[in-house]
Structure formats: C-alpha cells, structure tokens
A and B are shown apart, each in its own frame.
Chain A
C-alpha cells in the first residue's frame, strides 16, 4: 500500500536562481558602478523566470496492493514526475509519501558505454544492484539475460550496433530479470520492440507483477494502458484531476470537463 498525502513537488532552476558566475559578476560590477539598469533587468528576469517551479500540486491518492494504474495526460502534465516521486527519486517538497516505494523502470540507459557489449551491460546491472548479495549467481544471470532478450550473437557485440528494438529488449530483460520490488513504475512502456517482443513483454510483465504487485504506467497509448491497467489517473498542470476506472478516465480526458479542469 502506498499513499500520497497532499504531496507537492517543486523543482529548482539553477540558472534563474542566480548560481551563475557570469550573472553574479555582472550584478557585482553593476552595483559597483551604480548601473541601476542591470539590477532592473535582473529583477525583471527573475519575475518572468522564477527559480522555484511547481511540478506537482497537492496530490492525494491511495494505491492498494495489486492496483494497476494508467497515467493519462498531455506532455508536461506531471506524469513522469509523479512516477519519480512514487519511486523515491524525488521527495515531496510538501506533504508525505507513506508505505512502499515503487521500483522505477524509467531509464532507457544501459549503465555502460555503447562501446561495450550487451553482456557487459548485464554484468553492470548485476554489480550495480548487488545481485550477488541477494544470492544470485553471475553466470546464471548472464545466461538468463541472453536467453530472455533473444538478440542472438549481438549479446556479445558492442551496443552501438544494436537497433532500437534490440536495445529495448535488453533493457526490458534486465529490468524484469529479478524482482527488486513488487511495485513497478513504468514510463511510456516498451513500445519500440516488434510485435513478437510486445507479446513476450506483456506476458513477462504480467507474470512479474503477479497478483500482489502494483503497477503505475504512464503512456500516451490507450491500447497499452488497456492491456495492463484497470484504474486511471488523469493529470493536468501537475494536478491529479481524475481518479477512477480506466475507461472513465479516457472519457474524462476527451471531455470538456478536462479542458475546464
């Protein structure tokens, strides 16, 4: 169970906050030479470009065990930020998160240089997550990844020669190789693979989640959300404006109520 209790999130824009040597120097020299216009420009700039940006506003939700939630919303509505908040990457600036964090399946990076092979990326994943300490064996892990990602000999070739689909297969295999948490937060799904992979991924994800696992999936694809989710959240401008059954969430998103919310 996870609860967001009136959670808000602010991000800080470093350049507009003034932690920039050039800007500070101009300010100091301006003050020294009594150049009032510099300070005026600076003040105007700060007004139009505030350093503290509100990303999520007063989110109140409760996620039960086994909930499969689809996140719906336009770009910049706060979908990715809420995933990061619920994964513990961000902490709320105001309010609280109670209960279990979600495991973020957000990154599209293999944690090694593209000059290295897929097998090196698998080793990096194993070392980074300290899977040896959880009782897993490296050789077993590598052969499992090689089998599940199904990219053949490419597993031993540099990642830079991989197609986008192959890269997706490898990332997906790594992220679903070991159950690091029962709860998953996924951004945009894994849409770049072929049809066969999409089916495999669906099966894999379903078995990975089991009956107890919760899922938070952000996507612009209604089909993908329908495959996995029963509940829908509609986000707008950092606010959660609808929480209910998925089909009702789709209807709300397409209705006038969304525009006026």
Chain B
C-alpha cells in the first residue's frame, strides 16, 4: 500500500505499528533459536512431542476417548498448547518490567511498544504450536475440521486475556519483587487443579474449582470451540469487550504514568 496513505490514516498507522511490534517479537523468537539446527520448528515439535508422550501415559488412565468420539489426545494436546501460552504470559510477564528496566530507564520507547513486542513473541509461539496441533488433530479426529471455523472469537478472547496477564503480572512483579518467585508455583497449582490433563467430568465434587478458575475458563472457551463446535457468543463478546476496554484503559494509564513506572524500576 502507498506509504502516504498509511501516514494519513490513523487506523492504518496503528496496523503498521502493530506489524512492526510483530516483527520485533519475531526477532526475539529468532534469537531464542539462534544456535539450534531446527530453529523455530522446535516450537511445533515440542508441543507435539509433549502431547504425544503425555497422551500415551495419561491416555492409559483416562481412556482413549472422552465425552463420546473426541480423542483424548486432541483434548490433551489443545489443553497443553493453550496452557503453555498462559504459563508463558504469567512467567515472562512477572519479570518483564524488571528485565526491561534498561530500556525503560534509558529510552523514551513507549511501554505499550515493549508490552506488545513481548505479547507478539508469545503469540507467535502459540500460533505455531496451535497450527501444528490442529494439523495433527485433523489426522486423529478428522470430523473436527468443521469446528475450526468457530475458533476465531474464542481465540481473540484468549489473546486479549494473555495480553492483560502480561501487563498486570509485570506491574505487580515490579512493585512486589517476590511476585516473580511465586508465579511458577501458582502456575503449577492452577495447571494441576484445572481439567487440562484430565477430563472435567473427573472433578466430581470439585467441579466448582473449574468454574472459579479464570485462566482455565478462558482456555476452555477455545478448546470447547474446537472439540465440540460450541461457542457461547454472548459470553465471548462480553469478555472480549470487557477485556478490550480494560486494555485501552491500561494502555492509557501506562502512557500517562510511564515516568512513574520508570522510577519503580530504579
């Protein structure tokens, strides 16, 4: 597109800038796999290997299918892939401002740009992992292909939720330095307490845990959309609008208080 057109339109400028942050996130991914032979292929390979291994072990316990025709592998692989994204957002987010202190204290880069760069880095991992898992699921659960079209809205909710986690965890991690130490523990507890490895029906009397577990509920929106094709559009819209409003408010707060946050880093 003509550059002058981009410069004139506020919306196109925003898209162009988002594209820049996406490229910055990709540079971070490139750096992560710089010395490996397989490079970014590892993102796909690691979720497939993990899901296959856990699928074999836990499939023996929970059975090869759940809730009818859905293969346990599909259920587990989606859960693990989506959970990895949430866990990454929590872990990277909790240390983010502290680790970016050099840039916050010595440049005028907007905090929004730093957060979006990290967010896109995590998104790229999710997209590669999720795409590869969806391709594998096509082999084991071919009939689910029709559900893939339902993915868009729940995935959007999931992404906004992850961006909010990165921002808020980083702010808390900056104010309370102990927070980053407790996050891996909390992440593990939430993971084991959520029906990710095991079917939700196994919770019996503890089903309420899944209901109050917000990360799990957001994760389940995406997983259910793929596995059953069911999407609660009202719930998704409500969460998405609330998430976007919170995000806009948060970005506005961050820009207004950049210098204050810079002082928190010192």
Q: Does B35 sit within 8 A of A, measured CB to CB? A: yes
- The chain B residue sitting closest to A90, CB to CB, is B259
Q: Does A133 sit within 8 A of B, measured CB to CB? A: yes
Residues of A within 8 A of B264 (CB): 12, 14
Q: Is the CB of B266 within 8 A of A127?
A: no
* Docked CA distance A91–B108 (Å): 12
Q: Is the CB of B109 within 8 A of A91?
A: no
Q: Does A189 sit within 8 A of B, measured CB to CB? A: no
Contact A135 to B108, CB < 8 A, known contacts A15-B177, A19-B176 = no
Chain A nearest CB from B34 CB (Å) reads: 4
Q: Does A66 sit within 8 A of B, measured CB to CB? A: no
Residues of B within 8 A of A20 (CB): 176-178
Which stretch in B24-32, B64-72, B147-155, B207-215 binds the other chain? B24-32
Contact A11 to B107, CB < 8 A, known contacts A89-B259, A113-B28, A127-B20 = no
Q: Does A87 sit within 8 A of B, measured CB to CB? A: yes
* Docked CA distance A120–B106 (Å): 20
Q: Does B131 sit within 8 A of A, measured CB to CB? A: no
Chain A nearest CB from B1 CB (Å) reads: 11
* Docked CA distance A197–B103 (Å): 26
Q: Does A68 sit within 8 A of B, measured CB to CB? A: no
Q: Is the CB of B175 within 8 A of A127?
A: no
* Docked CA distance A27–B176 (Å): 16
Q: Is the CB of A133 within 8 A of B21?
A: no
- The chain A residue sitting closest to B260, CB to CB, is A91
* Docked CA distance A20–B266 (Å): 15
Q: Does A124 sit within 8 A of B, measured CB to CB? A: yes
Chain A nearest CB from B174 CB (Å) reads: 8
Contact A113 to B176, CB < 8 A, known contacts A124-B24, A133-B7 = no
Q: Is the CB of B27 within 8 A of A135?
A: no
Q: Does B202 sit within 8 A of A, measured CB to CB? A: no
* Docked CA distance A12–B175 (Å): 11
Q: Does A21 sit within 8 A of B, measured CB to CB? A: yes
Residues of B within 8 A of A109 (CB): 102-103, 106
Q: Is the CB of B31 within 8 A of A112?
A: yes
Q: Does A84 sit within 8 A of B, measured CB to CB? A: yes
How many residues from B make CB contacts under 8 Å with A? 36
Q: Is the CB of A127 within 8 A of B21?
A: yes
Q: Is the CB of B23 within 8 A of A116?
A: no
How many residues from A make CB contacts under 8 Å with B? 35
Q: Is the CB of B177 within 8 A of A107?
A: no
Q: Does A111 sit within 8 A of B, measured CB to CB? A: yes
Q: Is the CB of B262 within 8 A of A90?
A: yes
The 0/1 profile, CB within 8 Å of A marked 1, for residues 4-24 of chain B is: 001100000100110011011
Residues of B within 8 A of A111 (CB): 103
Q: Is the CB of A130 within 8 A of B263?
A: no
Chain B nearest CB from A128 CB (Å) reads: 6
Q: Does B188 sit within 8 A of A, measured CB to CB? A: no
Q: Does B145 sit within 8 A of A, measured CB to CB? A: no
Q: Which of B161-203 contact A (CB under 8 A)?
A: 175-178
From the candidates B34, B102, B177, B262, name the one contacting A113 in the complex (CB within 8 A). B34
Q: Does B231 sit within 8 A of A, measured CB to CB? A: no
Q: Does B105 sit within 8 A of A, measured CB to CB? A: yes
Q: Does B46 sit within 8 A of A, measured CB to CB? A: no
Q: Does A193 sit within 8 A of B, measured CB to CB? A: no
Q: Does A191 sit within 8 A of B, measured CB to CB? A: no
Contact A128 to B20, CB < 8 A, known contacts A90-B262, A113-B34 = yes
Q: Is the CB of A127 within 8 A of B24?
A: yes
Q: Does B228 sit within 8 A of A, measured CB to CB? A: no
Residues of B within 8 A of A88 (CB): 108, 259
Q: Is the CB of A120 within 8 A of B30?
A: yes
Q: Is the CB of A135 within 8 A of B3?
A: yes
Kindly list the 8 A-B residue pairs having the minimum CB-CB distance in the complex, ordered from nearest: A113-B31, A115-B34, A127-B20, A21-B178, A107-B106, A91-B259, A106-B106, A115-B31
Apart from A89-B106, A116-B34, list 9 A-B contacts with CB within 8 A: A19-B177, A20-B176, A106-B106, A107-B103, A111-B103, A112-B27, A116-B30, A127-B24, A130-B17
